[in-house]
Chain A
Amino acid sequence: MSKPAFQDMALRVALDRDVARTSDGYDKRAQEYASRLTGTRLDKTQVRGLESLACTTDKVSDITDWLKLRVGRDSGRDRWAKDGVGRDLLSEFDGLRNDAQKIVAALSKTYSLDTDQERQVHLRLCREFLKHLAAHFEYLQAEHRR
């Protein structure tokens, strides 16, 4: 294996490790959001919809635009706009950028990184957060129904 190819693979492994480690730290916060969302009229398809979008898009702004639209359209304030849950979630996504910055700053000491790396890590962290959120939401909803 050539040296650049080895470096590239090592970077991928390091990135996966750091994203996974950071993601584990999101579990509790995501559970709190899931708990707040169970108090709204949202059902699992809407929460899964956001998670699916996050997994398929290549832009963080697609995720936040989606959520802003849902908050904006919620005139009854009983879904994404209820008690400011959508707004708080948007701030949460924004805050994940700091984690992305930390990951990229640490890795840049060892590896040469793409200028777009921080944005891509931010996107991955948003996906991770939503993965936890959607799982907790479905679990809590099932618990409520019992």
Chain B
Amino acid sequence: MNDLEYRLMRKQQIAAWSDRWQSEAARFADGHRDLLPRRITNAQLYGLGNVVRSARRYADVERFIKHQAAKAERAGRLDVQGYWNDLETALGKLRGEAQVLLKNIPLPVEADSKQALDALHRELAGLYVQHLIAHSLYSTTGKDRERQ
């Protein structure tokens, strides 16, 4: 498989994965709906989105989430800590998804498989977070207004 074929195949597989996993991310958001938008604010979610977009390695995303969980714990906000811990678990599991996808997309011979796996894991985490943010904001439309 040449480089162009690999890129096209990778792009298509990721697009299909993203569409399949949108409902999973929505379920995560719905499962933590009681924390939105007061305990987990939109600003925190946008912050997560920025980190995931700019991360060079998956470990950067993980570090950010662990930091958020630690901050919440120090503040005694155990429900918020639980949210970040759950998210860390959910995103961590995507490494297995990345492994499955890589099996279906044979790497070009010169590619480093460890690096490719981390890059794909980071990309899948980015897509999951994109769905998560969109659904979290969507499901809380007007929630503040209703409270007022």
Contacts and interface: CB of A to CB of B under 8 A. Distances in A.
Given A72-B141, A116-B16, A58 B134 contact: no
Contacts, number: 54
B135 A68 contact: yes
Contacts of B22: 61, 64-65
Interface stretch (A14-22, A25-33, A40-48, A73-81): A73-81
Interface residues of A toward B: which range? 10 to 19
Instruction: Tell me the dominant secondary structure on chain B's binding face.
Output: helix
B110 interface: no
B56 interface: no
B120 interface: no
Interface residues of B toward A: which range? 20 to 34
A61 B23 CA distance: 9
Contacts of A71: 137-138, 141
Instruction: Tell me the dominant secondary structure on chain A's binding face.
Output: helix
A90 to B, nearest CB: 8
B19 interface: yes
A69 interface: yes
Contacts of B134: 64-66, 68-69, 72
7 contacts: A59-B18, A61-B127, A64-B134, A66-B134, A68-B137, A69-B138, A71-B138
Interface of B: 11-12, 15-16, 18-19, 22, 127, 130-131, 133-142, 144-145
